[in-house]
Amino acid sequence: MFVNVIYLVTLTVHECLVMFAVDPQDEAERNEQRLAIIADHLGFSWTELARELDFSEEKINLIRTENPNSLQDQSHALLNLWTVTEGHKSTLIKRLTKINRMDIVHLIETKINKSAEEETSSHTYAEIEQTLMLDHSEGVKSCNIFFFISYRLVISML
């Protein structure tokens, strides 16, 4: 007899990262690489994006002053500041859509997400069966993991 069981376990984010053998430093590097790709495509649009992300003119001018030689550096600085204060991917996509940078939205939704999927495709079957959801409500930093386990039930009579 085979039994399918679904378990719900709540763990801290750190425990989730340890469980999936994800090095937080590696994850930070991947996020930085993704933001770098976006920054490389922004060009002159970085100021328009900054305004959509509610950056003040003072902060925009500060970014210009601190990075006078390169639009790319200005874009990187903007996204780094934004990541520290907000950092929600969905917010970035919405704001890029508002400034009509669908090319970058498409890039995020295809190439960047595809590379993220390829990075995780080396996980074992058991890891693929698990669905990881981060819960940031009310500042709680935890994740819910649903384990779907199919196993053979052995009944022994004592």
**Per-residue pLDDT tens digits for 79-131:** 999 988 876 666 888 999 999 999 999 988 887 666 555 554 454 544 444 44
Q: State the average pLDDT over residues 123-140.
A: 45
Rounded CA-CA distance 98/91 in Å is 11
Residue 27's pLDDT is 72
Rounded CA-CA distance 70/13 in Å is 37
Mean of pLDDT over the chain: 71
Q: Model-level pTM? A: 0.56
pLDDT of 48 over the 70 cut: yes
Rounded CA-CA distance 70/73 in Å is 5
